[in-house]
């Protein structure tokens, strides 16, 4: 391929990547995946969630959560111990990352307010597989992320 054509191709690929990362595209992607998730009508599920942040509960990650109708039913740490009330992981600003519904809400809020938000979705069910948020550029202790694994619908 001639060098000029190669440069044109590079510019086109870069433009496509940047357009896909635009706030509008990211919002549309969230809406489409939220709709996909809601169409599944999964009211009861279990999954592992790993949260990374400047938080006191890193050694408990990942936790296994059971959720019914968008509410936490149980949270068990990586050693198999139930997480009890009063644990920092259950404080609202942290617990919001422990349900699919909370991950969608957190992603929407982050897209509106954070410097950078990255989200990956499950191709079949639409729930967020990972959410990474950098609230303020240049500040190292404001980043947070959550990853979901072992998702399992329950009866």
- pLDDT > 90: percent of the chain: 55
Q: Residue 111's domain is classified under what CATH number?
A: 2.50.20
Number of domains in the chain: 1
Residue-level pLDDT at 124: 97
pTM metric for this prediction: 0.79
Range with the lowest mean pLDDT among 21-30, 86-95, 132-141? 132-141
SS3 letters across 76-97: ECCCCCECCCCCHHHCHHHHHH
Q: How confident is the model at residue 32 (pLDDT cuts 50, 70, 90)?
A: very high
How many Å apart are CA 147 and CA 90, to the nearest integer? 17
Measured N-to-C along each axis, helices 100-113 and 23-40 cross at an angle, to the nearest 10 degrees, of: 170
- Mean pLDDT rounded to a whole number for the chain: 84
Residue 13 in this model has a pLDDT that exceeds 50: no
What is the extent of the structural domain holding 91?
A: 3-153
Residue-level pLDDT at 115: 81
- pLDDT > 70: percent of the chain: 81
Residue-level pLDDT at 114: 76
- Give whichever of 18-27, 46-55, 73-82, 84-93 has the largest mean pLDDT: 73-82
CA 27, 90, 48, 59 torsion-angle sign: positive
How many Å apart are CA 49 and CA 144, to the nearest integer? 13
- Contact 50/77 with Cβ under 8 angstroms? no
Residue 31 in this model has a pLDDT that exceeds 90: yes
Residue 12 in this model has a pLDDT that exceeds 50: no
């Amino acid at each position: 391929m001639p060098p000029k054509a190669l440069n044109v191709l590079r510019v086109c690929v870069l433009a496509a990547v940047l357009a896909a990362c635009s706030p509008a595209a990211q919002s549309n992607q969230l809406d489409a995946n939220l709709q996909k998730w809601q169409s599944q009508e999964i009211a009861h599920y279990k999954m592992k969630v790993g949260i990374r942040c400047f938080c006191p509960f890193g050694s408990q990650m990942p936790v296994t959560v059971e959720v019914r109708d968008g509410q936490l039913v149980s949270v068990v740490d990586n050693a198999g111990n139930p997480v009890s009330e009063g644990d920092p992981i259950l404080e609202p600003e942290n617990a919001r990352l422990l349900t699919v519904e909370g991950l969608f809400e957190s992603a929407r809020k982050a897209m509106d307010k954070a410097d950078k938000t990255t989200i990956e979705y499950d191709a079949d069910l639409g729930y967020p597989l990972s959410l990474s948020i950098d609230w303020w550029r240049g500040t190292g202790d404001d980043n947070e992320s959550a990853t979901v694994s072992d998702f399992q619908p329950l009866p």
